[in-house]
Structure 1
Amino acid sequence: MSSHPSRGPWIIAALVVLLLILHQDNWFWESDTLVFGFMPIGLFWHACISIGASLTWALATVIAWPLDDDDTVGVAGDSKAAANDEGA
């Protein structure tokens, strides 16, 4: 195991702060620009922020999810249950 602390939580925190800052879209309020010919640029901006938020959440899940703990508990719980069934 590495003696250095993981940078994952700091990366996630930085991405969340970046999304919070980018969410303030004051510069698109007055614009009549259409993206792809039909979507107002403000709506497109919020769609991109939503995609960025979902990717950040997915990354946070990958970094924070304890895969080893789930496997160990499931195996230990199953073997204890099997031992109790055999003794009954």
Structure 2
Amino acid sequence: MKYLVWGLIAFLVVIHQDVWNWNNDTLVFGFIPLTLAYHAGISIAASVVWLIAATTAWPVDSDDSTGDLVAGDVVASDSSQESSI
């Protein structure tokens, strides 16, 4: 699945280059320039690709390397050391 995500990212990079569309004065829905609508579509597609990447190709153990220490535990241990001094 990781290769599919990388392929979709490469595809988005390639279709993002729209030099063929710079001089097009066509309006979409009567008020949005075609180039702006094109880039809005690419932005939506990029968010879908990110969703696919986050749900399927995200490493499983990357968040578990921080350990079991919680912020409240740090505060509790610091305050107990101060009271013993």
Global fold match (TM > 0.5): yes
Of residues 13, 17, 42, the one that matches 1:49 is 42
Which runs of no fewer than 5 residues in structure 1 stay unpaired? 1-7, 78-88
Aligned Cα RMSD in Å?
Answer: 2.1
Aligned residues: 66
Where in structure 1 do 4 or more consecutive aligned residues deviate above 4 Å?
none
Amino-acid identity (%) = 45
Structure with the greater relative contact order (CA < 8 A, sep ≥ 6): 1 or 2? 2
Which runs of no fewer than 5 residues in structure 2 stay unpaired? 69-85
Paired with 1:43 and 1:36, the residues of 2 have a C-alpha distance of 12
Matches within 5 A, 1:20-59: 20-59=13-52
Paired with 2:45 and 2:38, the residues of 1 have a C-alpha distance of 11
Paired with 2:6 and 2:32, the residues of 1 have a C-alpha distance of 31
The one-letter amino acid paired with 1:50 is S
